């Protein structure tokens, strides 16, 4: 026989009307409670008839349970009986549900009584009054505010010792009794839990304080802290880059780019310095002076000639002297040889240069 959702299903040889479910609980081998859920007869007072011997006549229930003014169950005295209960639920004289059940299969032990605690260092022994019948399990559950779930330990007698406890912590305890499944079957009910008892340092407490939950950080404070942390990291990164640049500049000074100093060296002469210096220093164009009259003839290039000796230097005369000589003038200036270094002739003028002299054009 089995139960569906706490209610009995129909067994072999049983009769049941549609919409009727039965539940049986045998309280501590003393009282049998039979309840029914008859949705089809919700406005009807059904009657309960029973017997403990298959050959006896049915007796009618004298202690009904009512729900919304109508019968919904029956309580029977059946102390220490290991019998089969035969019963019939009727609507008047018409049977609605007829069945038979072993009552002990629906045993529900009573809650433990006279629960006591004996503490010794990091262990506690829980005792209570044993029930008058056997094949039971006495279960003790305990937890501290730091535990997320109840811890459990059970014994065949109500003498359960729990070890490994922290005397500084507060523990909550409760006890219940269960029927052994291999003896009473799978349809029994555990007893109700005893009252919760709190203990700390071997002394009973009113209650165990719950573990305080840390407050959640406010969003604005979180954003502020995050922003400051990011700003600090960016500042440290920029400082590191600046120090690295300073170190690199100290160890490897920058070399000036020759392109800006020697225009045309790389663009025209492909880096050939000899060609570039020959092209830029031996030939230059004569530019007109500002305010000078425009000459009709073609522009003559300015030629620079270097002479090492007097023999190689051409004789250069002043243009005015030549004009006077041509006109027959008698004034003549004696030609003095140039001494002291290289002779440079520029636009009809002659200069002498030594090794440390420069000519600005």
pLDDT at 99: 92
Per residue in 263-308, pLDDT (tens digit) is 777 777 777 777 777 877 655 444 444 444 444 444 454 444 444 4
**Residues 205, 172: Cα–Cα separation, whole Å:** 9
- 198 and 136 in a common domain: yes
Give the end of a domain, one of 73, 107, 141.
107
Nearest residue to 23 (alpha-carbon basis) of 77, 79, 81, 72: 72
- 134 and 54 in a common domain: no
Give the end of a domain, one of 187, 204, 221.
204
- 92 and 38 in a common domain: yes
In which band, very low, low, confident or very high, does the pLDDT at 84 lie, cut at 50, 70 and 90?
A: very high
- 124 and 87 in a common domain: no
- 187 and 116 in a common domain: yes
- 144 and 133 in a common domain: yes
Q: What is the pTM of this model?
A: 0.55
List of residues 6+ apart from 175 with CB closer than 8 A? 112, 115, 126, 128, 138, 139, 140, 141, 158, 160, 193, 194
Q: What percent of the chain has pLDDT over 90?
A: 45
pLDDT at 306: 47
pLDDT at 1: 35
Across 93-110, average pLDDT? 93
pLDDT at 270: 74
Domain count of the fold of the chain: 2
pLDDT at residue 346 is higher than 80: no
In the DSSP assignment, the letter for residue 41 is G
Across 130-136, average pLDDT? 93
- 147 and 86 in a common domain: no
Residue 142 belongs to a domain: yes
Q: In Å, what is the CA distance from 16 to each residue of 12, 88, 315?
A: 11, 10, 152
Per residue in 153-212, pLDDT (tens digit) is 999 999 999 999 998 899 999 999 999 999 999 999 999 999 999 999 889 999 998 754
pLDDT at 331: 44
Residue 242 belongs to a domain: no
pLDDT at 276: 76
**Residues 152, 175: Cα–Cα separation, whole Å:** 10
Residue 27 belongs to a domain: yes
Nearest residue to 312 (alpha-carbon basis) of 276, 282, 345, 284: 345
pLDDT at 273: 72
Q: In Å, what is the CA distance from 281 to each residue of 136, 205, 226, 273, 361?
A: 121, 109, 66, 12, 12
Residue 132 belongs to a domain: yes
- 80 and 121 in a common domain: no
- 117 and 198 in a common domain: yes
**How many CA atoms are closer than 13 Å to the CA of 188, on its beta-carbon side?**
25
- 125 and 71 in a common domain: no
- 95 and 124 in a common domain: no
pLDDT at 222: 81
- 116 and 95 in a common domain: no
Per residue in 8-59, pLDDT (tens digit) is 443 434 455 556 889 999 999 999 999 998 778 878 899 999 999 888 899 9
Residue 15 belongs to a domain: no
Nearest residue to 305 (alpha-carbon basis) of 349, 258, 337, 257: 349
Give residue 130's domain range. Answer: 110-204
pLDDT at residue 143 is higher than 70: yes
Residue 314 belongs to a domain: no
| Contact in structure between 343 and 316 (CB atoms under 8 Å) | no
CATH code of the domain containing 58: 2.60.40.10
Torsion-angle region of 325 (φ positive above 0: left; ψ -120 to 50: alpha; else: beta): alpha
More confident residue, 212 or 107: 107
Q: What percent of the chain has pLDDT over 70?
A: 67
Q: In Å, what is the CA distance from 58 to each residue of 54, 87, 238?
A: 9, 8, 98
More confident residue, 34 or 252: 34
Across 226-236, average pLDDT? 91
pLDDT at 7: 42
Residue 54 belongs to a domain: yes
**Residues 239, 262: Cα–Cα separation, whole Å:** 37
Residue 36 belongs to a domain: yes
Residue 100 tokens, joined? 């038979």
Give the end of a domain, one of 55, 81, 107.
107
pLDDT at 345: 63
């Amino acid at each position: 026989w089995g139960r569906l959702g706490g209610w009995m299903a129909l067994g072999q040889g049983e009769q049941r009307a549609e919409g009727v479910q039965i539940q049986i609980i045998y309280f501590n081998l003393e009282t049998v409670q039979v309840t029914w859920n008859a949705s089809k007869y919700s406005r009807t007072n059904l009657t309960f008839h029973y017997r403990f011997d298959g050959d006896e006549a049915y007796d009618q229930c004298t202690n009904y349970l009512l729900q919304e003014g109508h019968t919904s169950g029956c309580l029977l005295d059946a102390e220490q009986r290991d019998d089969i209960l035969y019963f019939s639920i009727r609507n008047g004289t018409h049977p609605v549900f007829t069945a038979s059940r072993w009552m002990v299969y629906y045993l529900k032990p009573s809650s433990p009584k006279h629960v006591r605690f004996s503490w010794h260092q990091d262990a506690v022994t829980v005792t209570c009054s044993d029930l008058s019948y056997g094949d039971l399990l006495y279960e003790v559950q305990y937890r501290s505010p730091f535990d997320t779930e109840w811890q459990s330990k059970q014994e065949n007698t109500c003498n359960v010792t729990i070890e490994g406890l922290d005397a500084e912590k507060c523990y909550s305890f409760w006890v219940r009794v269960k029927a052994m499944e291999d003896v009473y079957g799978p349809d029994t009910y555990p007893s109700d839990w005893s009252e919760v008892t709190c203990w700390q340092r071997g002394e009973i407490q009113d209650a165990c304080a719950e573990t305080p939950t840390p407050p959640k950080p406010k969003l604005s404070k979180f954003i502020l802290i995050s922003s400051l942390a990011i700003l600090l990291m960016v500042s440290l990164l920029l400082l590191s880059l600046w120090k690295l640049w300073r170190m690199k500049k100290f160890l490897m000074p920058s070399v000036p780019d020759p392109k800006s100093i020697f225009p045309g060296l790389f663009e025209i002469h492909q880096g050939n310095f000899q060609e570039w210096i020959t092209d830029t220093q031996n030939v230059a164009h004569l530019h007109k002076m500002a305010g000078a009259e425009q000459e009709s003839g073609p522009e003559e290039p300015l030629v620079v000639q270097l002479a090492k000796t007097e023999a190689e230097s051409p004789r250069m005369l002043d243009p005015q002297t030549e004009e006077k000589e041509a006109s027959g003038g008698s004034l003549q200036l004696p030609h003095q040889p140039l001494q002291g270094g290289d002779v440079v002739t520029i636009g009809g003028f002659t200069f002498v240069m030594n090794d440390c002299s420069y000519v600005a054009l």
